[in-house]
Every structure is written in C-alpha cells, then in structure tokens.
Amino acid sequence: MRLNSIKPAAGSKKVRHRVGRGIGSGWGKTAGRGHKGQKSRAGGFHKVGFEGGQMPLHRRLPKRGFTSLQRRYIETIRLAVIQNLDAQEIDLLTLKSAGIVSVLAQGARIVNTGTIDRAVKVRGLGVSAGARAAIEAAGGSVEPVGAA
C-alpha cells in the first residue's frame, strides 16, 4: 500500500447537489422547489401543524386526561416474590438492593398472589388486605406506611 493509492471505500462519499447551477446539472431553474407557492419562495415557511387556515387536527380533536407531575411511582410486588427473598425485614431499600423493584420506585405495594409460609416483618410498604392476612397467618407482622 502507498499513500498515493489510499482512497475511501466505494459509496462512502457522495457529492452533494449544487442546485441552481444551470440546466445541464438537472437542478437548474426552480432548483427542486417546484413552481410557485409559499414553499418555492425565499423565506416562505409554515408552522408545524398549519393547515392553510383550516382548523388544525390537533385543535379539532377532543382533549382527554392528563399526567400528574405529583404522582408517585409505586411498584407492585407479589407474595411469592417475598417468599423467595432471604431477608427477614422487608422494606423499600431491601427490595431495591435485591433488584426486585426499580431504583426509581418511590414506594411498593404487596398483593396477595402466591403463598408465604415464613415469618417476615414488612415495614413502610403498602399491603393489600389479603396479603396482610397471609403475612400475619404465617407469623409475620406489617408496620403501616409512615410508622417510625
């Protein structure tokens, strides 16, 4: 290989169109802008969603609902997952470190899906009525959210 024989891979370099440079280039006269109209003129533009004065689609359609910025991100955990966890005390930090809930979760709620047959202490998590009964029947306890 020599320095004078090095060239880029085939097809990697494309020559850009130089518009408005005469009839022989194929991009002369109107330079790809077509004939007349707002978009053919210098400085001619229209806003996104503008439909020529007709009521735009985003204003014709009804609006529904919203996303609350104050909403907390709470994950749901099944009893079967708690059964397989090694820890005796279960709180949000335990669930996060075990990778059961997302790091972004601001809370968690245990629901009665599956079974539990060992005593665990649940603190600072939401618990459904069925899950609470199952945990207490297995000899465990549930501290309500906010109790310190």
pLDDT band, residue 141 (cuts 50/70/90) = very high
* pLDDT value at 46 more than 90: no
β-pairing verdict for 89-90 and 126-127: unpaired
pLDDT digits (tens, 9 = 90+) for 64-106: 999 998 999 999 999 999 999 999 999 999 999 999 999 999 9
pLDDT in tens, 17-31: 999 999 999 999 999
**CB of 110 within 8 A of CB of 128?**
yes
- Domains of the chain by start residue, with CATH: 74-143 (3.100.10.10)
Convert the pLDDT of each residue in 96-124 to its tens digit. 999 999 999 999 999 999 999 999 999 99
Is-above-0.75 flag for pTM? no
- Confidence bin at 147 (pLDDT 50/70/90): low
The torsion angles phi and psi of 110, rounded to 5 degrees, stand at: -95, 130
* Residue 125 burial (10 A CB sphere; 0-12, 13-18, 19+): buried
- pLDDT above 70 covers a percentage of the chain that reads 98
- Give the list of residues 6+ apart from residue 125 with CB closer than 8 angstroms, or none: 77, 90, 91, 92, 95, 107, 108, 109, 110, 145
